[in-house]
A and B are shown apart, each in its own frame.
Chain A
Amino acid sequence: MATRRSFLFLAVFASLCHCTQGSPSGAEGTLGRVNRGKLTVKGSDTMVILGQRWAEAYAGIEPHAVVQITGGGTSTGIAALINGSTDICEASRPMSDREKEELRSKRGVPAVETKVALDALAIFVNSKNPLDEISLPALARLYAGETADWRQVGGAGHAVVLYGRESSSGTYGYFKERVLGGKDFAPSTQTLAGTSALANAVKGDEFGIGYGGVAYLEGIKALRVRTDERSTAVAPSPSTAKDGNYPISRFLYFYTAGEPTADVKKFIDWVQGPGGQEVVVEVGYYPLPKD
């Protein structure tokens, strides 16, 4: 008993020493604190499935590495990065200057951004909806509550039912900025927790409209999108997202506090490489453009 206890004590002591050793001032300090081989990844709900597939595939080539993926929303992930409770933050929008500044002041290191995939934000409607395309200004009018009927955007005459995401979601932030131009969502917008719940709601609602990653298009229809009333409508696809013709495409990011080192760097490099990008395609997002 006594020997066992002292052994335990030693082990704790040793790990404490390791911690203090591993955190000199500067960039690598932030990542040295976490257990060897175990990576925590937290953030965007849009990227949870993608992250989990990455973790599974990565475990196949690096059996010792344990990658732990959790969602919660991009803002939640960024908060965790600032608090030091995650190694990598998955983000479906770029970090704001304020968040970067907060990270720098709290942790003393800059935020390092890595693009990991390309996503086109699809506009979901029910497959029974006769509408096939919509312009960004019309979409903005719908979500701001200025238009309330499908007829006014070229559809059949019935009240529009708006579905959106909760405010901690990166998709919410991206849509609000890119489509609504910073305006508020109409109060009647129903917010759902997670893109799959949203896709499910639109699937069951003939007059519903929603938005989310292209990976969730099962049983629902994605509208073709026009930048304005005169331009031609473009369907979301790898090529239109890559060349920027599809107006609401975005990159998906990893953020780390300081330059990634050791295991974190290894994982990120793998994600950006052919193995990781293959997973991106499998899940339904688009791979990073090769340039």
Chain B
Amino acid sequence: MTTNATATPQTPRPIPSLKRQPRTGERLVELLLKAVALTSIAAIVLILAFVAREALPVFTGTGSDESGASLDLLLAEPLADGSEPLLWRPVSHPPRYNVIPLVIGSLKVTLVAVLIAAPLGIAAAIYVSELAGKRQREIVKPTIELLAGVPSVVIGFYALVVLASWIQGIFGTEHRLNALVAGTGLALAVCPVIFTVSEDALQAVPHAYRTAALALGSDRLQMIFRVVVPAALPGILASLVLGFGRAIGETMIVLLASGNAALISGSIGVSTRTITATIAEELGEVVVGSGHYRVLFALGTILFASTFVLNFAGERVIHGLRKKLGTA
């Protein structure tokens, strides 16, 4: 290498670098963009730090309510009047902050939403990506994506007024507003998320896979379900994780359509209260720094942690799958 350099006679002229020296203006813009990107990271970290700090007394067991009792999120000791001990009853005397009914409520509504939205979203993605003609595709795709732009309060009100009556009419549910109604409303918000991400994943499958499958003699359905969908599986799973995160964090739809009674029940036909709706309803009235306030922040921390863990686990699984499929 060095001999090569010395051997050339016209060395004095420096070789122009491919990396052009950026002008100051460009540098400024680059710095600005970097700062913006860092700001969003800083915002997330600071929000988490704030929420966790406000909730700290609950997790360390040092917090107490006005009567001096400690803030126990899983307190199960029976009440004086002999009623059900696992209660979310924050304004009673003494208050009870058992989060079990809320966790069950959130999971129930989210599962219903994902179970409805996943088959619909994925099937629509397969149709649009693999089967639809150009014109159908140009109508169907933007229409589904438009659904993501419908404000959640509108979906919530629709669920409260219209959907609830239909569902009660069809299934004869015990309560008119219940986990099924909220979950169905929520599915409307989750479906576009699952659809968009799944469709992108299917589109990303190399065209050679399709032509190879057809050349080997498979028909179209075989090509889709034996080759394209398996190759896009990591992306489809990612869409489910994102959809789940969207559903568990959604507030307005469940606040309006779930009835908000904190019941422990396995049935999806009864009213439920979710973590998000509880925070939205109660944070406005609590005295800053009180036991109830701390508990609500603890709920926020639990919600934050669960979506974080889910996203992280999902990322690992998807990464592993990609490696196995060789599409990384």
How far, in whole Å, are A204 and B176 apart by their CA atoms in the complex?
8
Q: Which residues in B have their C-beta under 8 angstroms from that of A187?
A: 84, 87, 89, 101, 261-263
A73 touches B285 (CB 8 A): yes
Cβ-based interface call for A191 (8 A): yes
**A76 and B285 contact, Cβ closer than 8 Å, known pairs A167-B91, A184-B89, A204-B165:** yes
Q: Closest CB-CB distance, B273 to chain A, in whole Å?
A: 8
Cβ-based interface call for A79 (8 A): yes
**A167 and B90 contact, Cβ closer than 8 Å, known pairs A76-B284, A190-B260:** yes
Q: Which residues in A have their C-beta under 8 angstroms from that of B271?
A: 188, 190
B285 touches A168 (CB 8 A): yes
Which residue of chain A has the shortest Cβ distance to B264 in the bound complex?
A187
Cβ-based interface call for B177 (8 A): yes
B176 touches A205 (CB 8 A): yes
Cβ-based interface call for B282 (8 A): yes
Q: Which residues in A have their C-beta under 8 angstroms from that of B287?
A: 79
**A190 and B175 contact, Cβ closer than 8 Å, known pairs A167-B90, A167-B91, A204-B165:** yes
Q: Which among A159, A161, A193, A201 is the interface contact of B255 at CB below 8 angstroms?
A: A193
B176 touches A201 (CB 8 A): yes
Q: Closest CB-CB distance, A290 to chain B, in whole Å?
A: 35
A73 touches B261 (CB 8 A): no
Which residue of chain B has the shortest Cβ distance to A80 in the bound complex?
B284
Which residue of chain B has the shortest Cβ distance to A173 in the bound complex?
B91
How far, in whole Å, are A200 and B260 apart by their CA atoms in the complex?
15
How far, in whole Å, are A192 and B261 apart by their CA atoms in the complex?
9
How far, in whole Å, are A187 and B164 apart by their CA atoms in the complex?
21
A75 touches B285 (CB 8 A): yes
**A166 and B260 contact, Cβ closer than 8 Å, known pairs A73-B284, A204-B176, A208-B176:** yes
Q: Which among A166, A189, A208 is the interface contact of B281 at CB below 8 angstroms?
A: A166
Per the 8 Å Cβ criterion, residues 158-207 of A in contact with B are 159, 161-162, 166-168, 184, 187-193, 197, 200-201, 204-205
How far, in whole Å, are A200 and B256 apart by their CA atoms in the complex?
11
Q: Closest CB-CB distance, B323 to chain A, in whole Å?
A: 47
Q: Which residues in A have their C-beta under 8 angstroms from that of B84?
A: 187
B165 touches A193 (CB 8 A): no
Q: Closest CB-CB distance, A178 to chain B, in whole Å?
A: 16
How far, in whole Å, are A205 and B176 apart by their CA atoms in the complex?
6
Q: Which residues in A have their C-beta under 8 angstroms from that of B260?
A: 166, 190-192
A200 touches B161 (CB 8 A): yes
Per the 8 Å Cβ criterion, residues 252-281 of B in contact with A are 255-256, 259-263, 270-271, 273, 281
Cβ-based interface call for B92 (8 A): yes
Q: Which among A72, A76, A188, A200 is the interface contact of B263 at CB below 8 angstroms?
A: A188
Q: Which residues in A have their C-beta under 8 angstroms from that of B270?
A: 188
Chain A CB within 10 A, most for which of B174, B177, B285? B285
Cβ-based interface call for B52 (8 A): no
Q: Which residues in A have their C-beta under 8 angstroms from that of B176?
A: 161, 201, 204-205, 208
B281 touches A159 (CB 8 A): no
A190 touches B284 (CB 8 A): no
Per the 8 Å Cβ criterion, residues 63-121 of A in contact with B are 72-73, 75-76, 79
Encode contact with A along B75-118: 1 for CB under 8 Å, 0 otherwise.
00000000010010111100000000100000000000000000
B177 touches A184 (CB 8 A): no
Q: Which residues in A have their C-beta under 8 angstroms from that of B284?
A: 72-73, 75-76, 168
Q: Closest CB-CB distance, A135 to chain B, in whole Å?
A: 23
Per the 8 Å Cβ criterion, residues 44-62 of B in contact with A are none
B177 touches A190 (CB 8 A): yes
How far, in whole Å, are A250 and B317 apart by their CA atoms in the complex?
60
Q: Which residues in A have their C-beta under 8 angstroms from that of B247?
A: none
Per the 8 Å Cβ criterion, residues 225-261 of A in contact with B are none
B281 touches A188 (CB 8 A): no
How far, in whole Å, are A192 and B260 apart by their CA atoms in the complex?
7
How far, in whole Å, are A162 and B261 apart by their CA atoms in the complex?
10
Q: Which residues in B have their C-beta under 8 angstroms from that of A72?
A: 284
How far, in whole Å, are A160 and B91 apart by their CA atoms in the complex?
24
Which residue of chain A has the shortest Cβ distance to B89 in the bound complex?
A184
Q: Which among A79, A159, A201, A204 is the interface contact of B285 at CB below 8 angstroms?
A: A79
Cβ-based interface call for B295 (8 A): no
B261 touches A204 (CB 8 A): no
Which residue of chain B has the shortest Cβ distance to A205 in the bound complex?
B176
How far, in whole Å, are A155 and B37 apart by their CA atoms in the complex?
63
How far, in whole Å, are A8 and B93 apart by their CA atoms in the complex?
53
Cβ-based interface call for B124 (8 A): no
Which residue of chain B has the shortest Cβ distance to A193 in the bound complex?
B255
How far, in whole Å, are A200 and B158 apart by their CA atoms in the complex?
11
How far, in whole Å, are A193 and B278 apart by their CA atoms in the complex?
11
**A168 and B282 contact, Cβ closer than 8 Å, known pairs A190-B261, A201-B176:** yes
How far, in whole Å, are A86 and B99 apart by their CA atoms in the complex?
33
Q: B residues touching A (Cβ–Cβ < 8 Å)?
A: 84, 87, 89-92, 101, 160-161, 164-165, 168, 174-177, 255-256, 259-263, 270-271, 273, 281-282, 284-285, 287
Cross-chain pairs A/B with CB under 8 angstroms, 25 sampled: A72-B284, A73-B284, A75-B284, A166-B260, A166-B282, A168-B281, A168-B282, A184-B89, A187-B87, A187-B262, A187-B263, A188-B263, A188-B270, A189-B261, A190-B271, A191-B259, A191-B260, A191-B261, A191-B281, A192-B256, A193-B256, A197-B160, A200-B160, A201-B164, A204-B165
Minimum-distance CB pairs A-B, first 3 = A168-B285, A190-B259, A75-B285
Q: A residues touching B (Cβ–Cβ < 8 Å)?
A: 72-73, 75-76, 79, 159, 161-162, 166-168, 184, 187-193, 197, 200-201, 204-205, 208
Extra pairs beyond A190-B271, A192-B259, A204-B176 (12, CB < 8 Å): A73-B285, A161-B175, A167-B282, A187-B84, A187-B89, A187-B262, A187-B263, A192-B260, A197-B160, A197-B256, A200-B160, A201-B259
